[in-house]
Structure 1
Amino acid sequence: MTTPPGGEATPRRSAPRIELLRRTAGSPRELAGKLLRLGHTLARFGSGEPRRRLARLKAIGAIERAPTRVQLLAGSADMLRFWISPAAADYYRQQGIGYGFHQVLRVLDDPSSMVDPVGLAVDRDTIIGHLLQVVHANPTYDLQLLDSLEDGIDELERQTRAMLDGTHPRARSIGAIVEDPGYHARLLEFVHAYRADPHAAPPIRDNVAANPSLQRIERTFGTLPAAMRYFTRLPEGPLAAARHLLTVRAFPEHLAD
């Protein structure tokens, strides 16, 4: 594994794998709590929480139009297969970190954060935990989600500060996942910039900034309004959406911003 500039190695880079697994899994009681929260998250899908969240986002002007349920499912799949997974795999390959094992650590730390790629069914703290756990290609989308929730940005700032001073209750497990020692300081800096101007330029992850192809996809999925515009351009019927998912193998740029 490579060591980041400056020579500082995080536990993710320096600790043995078995230690990383122990840290992210936590105690049996903590693991049981994670599974309980996962059950609550899955129940929110069935309770219509994504539709309520979309309606609120539209009501406050955060998005122009809400995608249908079919468009939301197809868009979530596209976001995962064209943006989240390939951009992350490229980044971790450059970092010398095994992507598969990294995902195992993320699941052990917080399984709830792994079941909803668009973040419309998870609660505020799950979104914040995800932001703290993953070096984001562009954190804007998640901040915009939090901005629509009560105390979302305030709580993100508080928890990011807690990560930096080592008092966050998940500091040990998150510290076993985050490979970049400067990430939380940059995230806090962007939170301050976003508070002052919601259109502030975000910190774009290096592998995206250096890749024109990923940059084009980031312009679609990196912000909440742009992502939802893409979703609403997808087929509305189940059969047409299934055909899209089965036949479209590359990012459809004609549907992008």
Structure 2
Amino acid sequence: MQTSRLTASPLSLLKQAAGSPAQLAGKARGLARALRAYADGPALDARLRRLEALGYLEKTPSRLQLVVGSIDMLRFWITPAAAEYYEERGISFGFHQVLRVLDDPASMVDPTGFLSTQDAIIGHLMQVVHANPAYDLQLLESHEGGLEALEAQVIQMLDGTHPRRASIGAVVEEPDYHARLLAYVRAYRETRDADAPLRDNIAKDPKWQRIERCFGTLPNAMAYFAKLPDRPMAAAWHLLTVRDFPG
């Protein structure tokens, strides 16, 4: 069985991901909220305190370290690992990003997820076959009832009742992804040490496994962020001169 992502025409996928005019308007409002969140320092501080209380932060990164770390996570981990995965599957990475924007533009503007709403994180988890979903589940714990809401929405995806079922279906390329995600969510709620399902190209490649150990979980990623330069000139020098994953 294949998803519509692999069988429908590009035009059909664009229409499916975009949804109705009313849905597009709702997505635009969600994007506006996501962008406004960048100016909401107290909300970010509260999120970080919650993660610290959960034991996920040994040392809280500064604002500048969060920015530089986000860039590193994108350029060393998220983007190249995803680009390889889609190339292996014969899927245009660029077109895939267009579909993601049409489905949920708010999920594209916050790489760390610290400024994202609970629904944005859940939508992102259901929209993208994750290299390792552990980071996002840990992040959801900073939202009261986040894991419960994730489980409920994944169940809706599987039984066909989720309001974004069609648009998410235009993006997700693995037909059993949501079933695997649900199994992991349930296992994770039982024990935080549950084995996360790694994406195929991560599980088979020692290079990606090494980088995954840094960015695949929230505690490890934040430990990396907290070691980054904390002064503007040093941070700029890091971004200009460090071209490969330094771990």
TM-score for both structures, normalised by structure 2? 0.98
Q: 1:27 Cα deviation (Å)?
A: 1.3
Q: Distance in 2 between matches of 1:73 and 1:151?
A: 27
Q: Pick the aligned partner of 1:45 from 38, 58, 64.
A: 38
SS at match of 2:245: coil
Q: Pick the aligned partner of 1:154 from 144, 148, 151.
A: 148
Q: Distance in 2 between matches of 1:232 and 1:75?
A: 8
* 1:65 partner letter: K
Q: Pick the aligned partner of 2:117 from 97, 100, 123.
A: 123
| Aligned: 1:252 with 2:237 | no
Q: Which residue in 2 is equivalent to 1:233?
A: 227
Q: Which residue in 1 is equivalent to 2:22?
A: 29
Q: Distance in 2 between matches of 1:176 and 1:193?
A: 27
| Aligned: 1:197 with 2:191 | yes
Q: Percent identity?
A: 60
Q: 1:59 Cα deviation (Å)?
A: 2.6
* 1:108 partner letter: L
Q: Distance in 2 between matches of 1:140 and 1:240?
A: 31
Q: Which residue in 1 is equivalent to 2:180?
A: 186
Q: Distance in 2 between matches of 1:9 and 1:32?
A: 30
* 1:146 partner letter: L
Structure 2 residue runs of 5 or longer lacking an equivalent are none
Listed as ranges, the matches of 1:11-90 within 5 Å are 11-48=4-41, 49-90=43-84
Q: Distance in 2 between matches of 1:193 and 1:156?
A: 13
* 2:25 partner letter: A
SS at match of 1:251: coil
Q: CA RMSD in A?
A: 0.8
Q: Distance in 2 between matches of 1:234 and 1:43?
A: 26
Q: Distance in 2 between matches of 1:88 and 1:188?
A: 21
Q: 1:52 Cα deviation (Å)?
A: 2.5
Q: Which residue in 1 is equivalent to 2:134?
A: 140
Q: Distance in 1 between matches of 2:213 and 2:69?
A: 15
